[in-house]
Amino acid sequence: MGASMSKTQETGAAAPRAPALPWTVRLYTLSLMSATDFAQRPDGTVNRFVFSLADRQARASAHPDGLGVVSADVAVDASRGLWARVFSPSSSRADPGAPALPVLVYFHGGGFTLLSAASAPYDAMCRRFCRELGAVVVSVNYRLAPEHRFPAAYDDGVDVLRYLGNAGLPDLGVPVDLARCFLAGDSAGGNLTHHVAQRWTATAPGPIRIAGIVLLQPYFGGEERTPAELRLEGVAPVVNMRRSDWSWRAFLPEGADRNHPAAHVTGEAGPEPELGEAFPPAMVVIGGLDPLQDWQRRYAAMLERKGKAVQVVEFPEAIHAFYVFPELADSGRVVKAIKAFMDAARAAQPGQLPDPSVTRTCDC
């Protein structure tokens, strides 16, 4: 019996318990997990019809919502289905004398294989970001795997920045500041945020300068099983090792393992990424009930080793994807933390933050 005893039992530590969540959050995460499990076929393809049953879509609207936000879909490259949804304050509520608004380019999560910029939770979240961050939000609908494997999503992210630099945004009725742009993303979108920023700042083309990046529980990994992955397996909702492994197989090149540099960026099983001098300050958001948290801490430590400004903000009771649920208190707190980060990055000199290399538990 001792041979089968878990590490938790061996050390006498209390086993982690499933988080206490509002019924609305439990219901949505259950439907999302069930749809994901049915959609992830054993042959590595996605049953998109099955997943669509749980993936409610929202339309762009030129009419202001209750937050005073309007939205429009912009075609970036119709030949490959690349587009973005742009959220902006209604011009009727804009202050003509107000300074130009920052632009936040956002990459949604979904393990590189699921969801879209039109998925209702992301549409609602980007509306909140637009209103509460005081920013124009450009939510990117990048191509999904396995139909479009690595590096398609990264190419799409870079091309959206190139499009903004060349064509700019449509007339929004409000001034925008493309010279100080922010990238943000959650889960797989956080992974995209890092790689797009790395690519963009390696060559720094065009008028777009990235002032900062926000990685919400970014999806990094490796062949190693981390303590958090083992401890929270079967306990934490949304992410488990089977779903995660399936997503990496769908996204990475055929035959690649999870130590591929797209997934593994922290140096334990390969070289650390080369980061250019212009690589921007980063904010890394970590949840204490997210199985991916160890990879996220290692990512922040890698940035510190390379001399990059990084702020780590921890929410000890947060599950993966907590930010899409406005009924969770941490969802409001993280928006305040992002706002503070963006304000500091806009005021600082390029590549610097007033308080770099900070790790803190958020009591925003």
Query: What is the side-by-side strand order in the sheet with 210-216?
Result: 69-77, 82-89, 136-141, 101-107, 176-186, 210-216, 282-289, 310-319, 358-361
Q: Give how far Cα 293 sits from Cα of 129, 226, 235, 298, Å.
A: 23, 9, 14, 9
User: Which of 108, 148, 260, 320 does the annotation list as catalytic?
Assistant: 320
List, in sequence order, the alpha helices (H) in the chain.
7-11, 23-39, 48-52, 120-133, 152-167, 188-203, 227-232, 241-251, 293-305, 329-347
User: Which of 290, 294, 330, 331 does the annotation list as catalytic?
Assistant: 290
Task: Give yes or no: 139 in active site.
Answer: no
Please tell me whether residue 286 adopts helix, strand or coil conformation.
strand
Please tell me whether residue 253 adopts helix, strand or coil conformation.
coil
Structure tokens at 331: 């969802």
Q: Give how far Cα 210 sits from Cα of 1, 217, 310, Å.
A: 55, 20, 14
Pairwise CA distance, residues 350 & 281, whole Å: 8
Pairwise CA distance, residues 329 & 123, whole Å: 19
User: Which of 88, 119, 139, 187 does the annotation list as catalytic?
Assistant: 187
Structure tokens at 81: 């289905």
Task: Give yes or no: 6 in active site.
Answer: no
Task: Give yes or no: 187 in active site.
Answer: yes
Strands 358-361 and 310-319: parallel
Active-site residue set: 187, 290, 320
